[in-house]
Amino acid sequence: MMGSTTRFGVSMDSDLVELLDRFALAEGHANRSEALRSLVRGELTSDSTVDDSAAVVGIVTLIYKSGKRLPNVAVAHYPSLRISANLQLHVEQQSCIKLLVVQGSARDVRAWAARLTGVAGVIGRLTICATSEILQELRR
């Protein structure tokens, strides 16, 4: 659970600070603190750092040739999984992109997404966007 804001000092090589400042400007962050918070959130929600039992929100991105049939991966086998949104676009005459916003335990979300991203002829990725802790922080 995230608590109140804590101030702390950070020592960094000047070249790294310059990169941080460029990142902050490019991403529209008001200051270095906002930029660091954004980077830390991104790293803490990366797939490798999220516990299997954690509640997550993720986006499954699938790119494939038009006309390809994607497998129907039933959500019933993944008890906590909920598909919140499903968007499909033709990005070129021969290519489609599908974006699925999903919620559930990291274990169920990862397993379900792997069934889709592992299909031959599909380029796919799961991006875990938020954990329950990150969402709780936004409510404050």
Shared domain check, 57 and 32 = no
69, 125: one domain: yes
Domain ranges, residue 21: 14-44
Three-class DSSP category at 122: strand
Q: Comparing 8-12, 103-107, 118-122, 134-138, which segment has the lowest mean pLDDT?
A: 134-138
pLDDT of amino acid 126:
94
Give the mean model confidence (pLDDT) for residues 87-109. 95
Is residue 57 scored above 70 in pLDDT? yes
pLDDT band at 1 (very low <50, low <70, confident <90, very high): very low
Residue 4 is predicted with a pLDDT of 80
Express each pLDDT in 6-24 by its tens digit.
899 999 999 999 999 999 9
Sign (positive or negative) of CA dihedral 112, 72, 122, 119: positive
Regarding whether 124 and 96 lie in a shared domain, the answer is yes
Report the sign of the C-alpha dihedral through residues 27, 32, 38, 42, in that order. Answer: positive
Residues 106 and 132 in one domain: yes
Q: How far is CA 113 from CA 76, 101, 103, 122, in A?
A: 14, 11, 11, 12
> Environment class of residue 134 by beta-carbon count within 10 Å: exposed (0-12), middle (13-18) or buried (19+)?
middle
Tell me, yes or no, whether 7 lies in a domain.
no
Strands (E), 9-69: 55-65
Confidence of residue 98 (pLDDT cuts 50, 70, 90): very high
Same domain, 60 and 126: yes
Residues 57 and 126 in one domain: yes
Q: Are residues 55 and 39 in the same domain?
A: no
- pLDDT above 90 (res 48): no
| CATH code of the domain containing 69 | 3.30.70.1150
**Co-location of 65 and 105 in the same domain:** yes
pLDDT of 138 reads 76
- What pLDDT, on a 0 to 100 scale, did the predictor assign at position 45? 64
The answer to the question of residue 107 being in a domain is yes
9 within a domain of the structure (yes/no) = no
Residues with Cβ < 8 Å from 98, sequence gap 6 or more? 60, 61, 62, 63, 64, 70, 86, 87, 88
